[in-house]
Structure 1
Amino acid sequence: MPFKIIDNRRESRLRRAVESDGGAHGALTRGALSAAAALYGAGLRSRMRKRRAMPAQDAGAPVISVGNVTAGGTGKTPVCLYLARQLHDAGFRTGVATRGYGRQQSEPVIATPESNPGWKVTGDEPQLYLASGRVRAVAVDPLRNRGAAALASEHGCGAILLDDGFQFVTLKRAADIVCLDARNPFGFNRLLPRGELREPVSALERATHFWITRATPETATQTQTLLDTLKKRHPGIPIILSRHEPECLVPIGGSSDILEPAFLAGKTVCAFSAIGAPESFEQTVETLSGARSLAIRHTDHHAFTDQELRRADALAAEHGCGAVVTTEKDAVRIPGAFKPELPWFALRISLRVTQGAEHIDELIESLQ
């Protein structure tokens, strides 16, 4: 059966309509989105002026911000997990301050490994931080100044990672790391909603470090172009390169045996996800299996229903798949009671720094 993508993402349907329709309807849609982007840009400039006019607050512990200038999908979470491990190994009691995207309540909460209310309260990414064994506490609070201060004062955190913090300029930080996806670093060079930029590219002037993610052999040309651009526009700013590498397969709803990624070799596999940039994940699954007949995509942080999960399981079987593979972040939102017919796995990935590791070491040493 031929390869098929079932894309349930709202933003994907809109982008396909905008980019593929060369007629009057497409032109009108692009014009409307460009006008909306102009309004977004005007509002953004006003908000950022007000924020920069406010004095940056001190959390009571050094803060490392990890963010981006585009809307999601740049690999911030693996970068935060990597930094949490490095800080932990250097002896820091580490906390994470985050907004908690995709959660089902708005009240602020501080979660710890000993007191974890679950993803519906915290969002999915905090669950990965808590499961890592390197994070002492996660403050989930839209007022991240308040969350970061609580991590330092109430939980004794000596270093704080500010997740998705580049636009949150009212918190003092020791470093402002900006993640850039090697494949599309500048979000089609257009502001939301016409493109994917949350801020103009000129905002990169605030960065203290650039972290290029998904810098693989397949993206070597794009990576080099991005490197050249960054070095020309921002000379002297440290640049770090990394790529994601498959680590193991964690079963979902079945056997407790953790398997090597090689288990997928030769199998027809369905890639199931609800993340910002599913293409990289799907490519990894295809590389591991050598055959991919189906990809099912949902909007980032989507709360799966039992019906959606059972439908995905059935679709995968209809397409001749021998397994379904999802991401660790998505697995957090799959209920433990889900019992699929096919084998389901969460693909655990690790982040490998291929260039610029010394900049991370220098940053952590500066916090001592």
Structure 2
Amino acid sequence: MPNQSHERLEQRLLKVISKQTRGKGAACLRGFLKVLSWIFGIVVQIRLFLYKHRIIRANTLGCQVISVGNVTVGGTGKTPIVETFARSLQQKGRKVAILSRGYKSRKTPLWEKILKKEKQLPRVVSDGKRLLLNSDLAGDEPYMLASNLPNVVVLVDKDRVKSGKYAIRKFGCDTLVLDDGFQYLKLQQRFDIVLVDYTNPFGYNRVLPRGLLREPKRNLKRAGFIFIT
């Protein structure tokens, strides 16, 4: 039920920001969301500035890192592209790990995190030989990737620096593919691939929450390659 309520709320908000819902109430809400978008956009650009000028230090893992992401919320077909790149790299002799944050996977309860003294390790969906987690624990997309790529390591953790180090140390990986990694600035020296949905490429041309952009579209200049999906 909570998921259904959340989805209904998302659909209502989408109708408001796309102007499908009209009236004074919807117009006032769009005005309020516009103010929030202005604030959000400033925060995003400040964060980029801090990383760009090394006020906040990013990490280097000493291996090839490829990020596949987008500039809008919602699906743009990232998973098939991640799968294609990972398979191609693996077939060329690379030891590949896919690093996912595990969207819609089961979260570890707070009490469990507090009680555990040791630092929690990334969840290993696949060790490159066999599936180790089901879709509830891994998340639908990491599970699908692990199922389709039997020779590729698939890890789930919000901290992609931690999971990247683990992939290198535990499995000897020399190539990391970040699923949904364009906004993940903690890892530097990587190649960014960005997917753009041709039906609504720039999310109503406004950043969240007035539009669907995660960051201003001018930031696409960070990308090394752009796919239209």
The interval holding the TM-score normalised by the smaller chain is: 0.7 to 0.9
Instruction: Give the SS at the match of 2:177.
Output: strand
Q: Deviations over 1:142-165 (max 9, x none)?
A: 111111111112111121101111
Equivalent of residue 62 in structure 2, options 60, 63, 70: 60
Corresponding letter in the other structure for 2:41: G
1:110 maps to 2:107: no
Q: What is the CA-CA distance between 1:205 and the residue it aligns to?
A: 1.2
1:202-213 correspondence runs (5 A):
202-213=218-229
Q: What is the CA-CA distance between 1:134 and the residue it aligns to?
A: 4.8
- Normalising by structure 1, we get a TM-score of 0.53
1:7-46 correspondence runs (5 A):
8-18=7-17, 19-46=19-46
Runs (4+) off by over 3 Å: none
Aligned to 1:77: 79
Cα distance between partner residues in 2 of 1:164 and 1:181 = 14
Cα distance between partner residues in 1 of 2:226 and 2:102 = 24
Corresponding letter in the other structure for 2:9: R
Aligned to 1:88: 90
Q: What is the CA-CA distance between 1:117 and the residue it aligns to?
A: 2.1
Instruction: Give the SS at the match of 2:61.
Output: coil
Instruction: Give the SS at the match of 1:20.
Output: coil
Q: What is the CA-CA distance between 1:115 and the residue it aligns to?
A: 5.0
Q: What is the CA-CA distance between 1:111 and the residue it aligns to?
A: 2.3
1:217-232 correspondence runs (5 A):
none
Instruction: Give the SS at the match of 2:155.
Output: strand
1:156-195 correspondence runs (5 A):
156-195=172-211
Cα distance between partner residues in 2 of 1:139 and 1:74 = 21
Percent sequence identity over aligned pairs:
37
Structure having the larger proportion of residues in strand: 1
Q: Deviations over 1:91-148 (max 9, x none)?
A: 2121111111111114631221535222222211110111013552122111111111
Instruction: Report 1 or 2 for greater relative contact order, CA contacts < 8 Å, sequence distance ≥ 6.
Output: 2
Corresponding letter in the other structure for 2:73: A
Corresponding letter in the other structure for 1:15: L
- Normalising by structure 2, we get a TM-score of 0.83
Instruction: Give the SS at the match of 2:213.
Output: coil
Aligned length: 207
Instruction: Answer yes or no: is the 8 Å Cα contact 2:102–2:141 preserved in 1.
Output: yes
Q: What is the CA-CA distance between 1:10 and the residue it aligns to?
A: 2.5
Corresponding letter in the other structure for 1:39: I
Equivalent of residue 149 in structure 1, options 165, 169, 172: 165
Q: Deviations over 1:223-266 (max 9, x none)?
A: xxxxxxxxxxxxxxxxxxxxxxxxxxxxxxxxxxxxxxxxxxxx
Q: What is the CA-CA distance between 1:212 and the residue it aligns to?
A: 1.3
Instruction: Answer yes or no: is the 8 Å Cα contact 2:130–2:150 preserved in 1.
Output: no
Instruction: Answer yes or no: is the 8 Å Cα contact 1:60–1:153 preserved in 2.
Output: no
CA RMSD across the alignment: 2.0
Instruction: Give the SS at the match of 1:84.
Output: helix
Task: Give 5+ residue unaligned stretches, structure 2.
Answer: 1-6, 109-119
1:103-142 correspondence runs (5 A):
103-106=105-108, 108-112=122-126, 113-114=129-130, 116-142=132-158
Q: CA 1:105–1:21 in structure 2 vs 1: closer, same or farther (change >3 Å)? A: closer
Aligned to 1:198: 214
Instruction: Answer yes or no: is the 8 Å Cα contact 1:98–1:139 preserved in 2.
Output: yes
Instruction: Give the SS at the match of 1:65.
Output: strand
Corresponding letter in the other structure for 1:82: T
1:254-333 correspondence runs (5 A):
none
Corresponding letter in the other structure for 2:15: R
Cα distance between partner residues in 2 of 1:173 and 1:117 = 31
Task: Give 5+ residue unaligned stretches, structure 1.
Answer: 1-7, 214-368
1:99 maps to 2:101: yes
Q: CA 1:182–1:155 in structure 2 vs 1: closer, same or farther (change >3 Å)? A: same
